[in-house]
Amino acid sequence: MTTQRHYSPIDRLLLQADMAMRTLLPFSGQPYRPSPAIVRPDAQMSDEDTRHVAGLMRINHTGEVCAQALYQGQALTAKLPQVRQAMEHAAEEEIDHLAWCEQRIRQLGSHPSVLNPLFYGLSFGIGAAAGLISDKVSLGFVAATEDQVCKHLNEHLEQLPAEDEKSRAILEQMRIDEEHHAETALEAGGFRFPAPVKFGMSLLAKVMTKSTYRI
């Protein structure tokens, strides 16, 4: 017979610190699934296209850093155990995306954004605040955030050079996973955010994408 361990507030803070380090330090997050890019052929791209794709993948990597922080902040303040466990499980799945994007960025001869610690801190605070308000709002925030992520992924898929099958395979699998996270959050009782709130979230997302494309 197994028993579930109950963590103290100090234990949870230490676990969050460990997860933050694994999110922000290079090559710290080990994916649970192999990258979809592995089975796709390498492509010869111009220097301009390579820099552009690296910028897009840097944006997506920072988005996954934000997703990790958001889920971890929500898990820290979630009221119901099942909601906390759902947030922690979603964060584990996002580790795959984080690692895949970082691997692709390195393959393209570039680097993740130096702004990641800043966006991690902001996202963690937003997630923790949403969890403090209510689990329904917290789950609704997940759904609204994933909707924004899917829009960005669709835009990036349109911008990728046709020959870059590796990046395309990664983004297509990410889109499938993100859509599933959004649906799961709403099915669990998440609040459907009104259009003005989603518009505000999209403006914040644009700040992130503009700033991390190059740095």
210 pLDDT more than 80 = yes
What fold characterizes domain 45-213?
Ferritin (1.20.1260)
Contact 116, 24 (CB under 8 A): yes
Residue 114, CA distances (Å) to 8, 33, 52, 55, 59 in order: 33, 26, 17, 13, 11
> How high does pLDDT run on average in the chain?
86
**pLDDT given for residue 3 in this prediction:** 44
Was 158 annotated as part of a binding site? no
Q: What is the rounded CA–CA span in Å between residue 98 and residue 116?
A: 12
**pLDDT given for residue 27 in this prediction:** 67
Residue 68, CA distances (Å) to 75, 126, 163, 165 in order: 11, 12, 30, 26
Was 180 annotated as part of a binding site? no
**pLDDT given for residue 7 in this prediction:** 62
Was 146 annotated as part of a binding site? yes
Q: What is the rounded CA–CA span in Å between residue 48 and residue 50?
A: 5
Q: Read off the pTM.
A: 0.86
* Other Cβ atoms within 10 Å of 187 Cβ, number: 10
Q: What residue segments make up the domains of the chain, in order of their start?
A: 45-213
Was 94 annotated as part of a binding site? yes
CA-wise closest residue to 81 among 181, 6, 186: 6
**pLDDT given for residue 189 in this prediction:** 85
* Other Cβ atoms within 10 Å of 33 Cβ, number: 13
Query: Averaging pLDDT over each range in 87-91, 117-121, 136-140, which range is the top one?
Result: 117-121
150 pLDDT more than 70 = yes
Q: What is the rounded CA–CA span in Å between residue 57 and residue 49?
A: 12
135 pLDDT more than 60 = yes
Was 92 annotated as part of a binding site? no
Was 179 annotated as part of a binding site? no
19-47 per-position pLDDT tens digit: 777 777 776 667 889 999 999 999 899 99
CA-wise closest residue to 122 among 63, 77, 167: 63
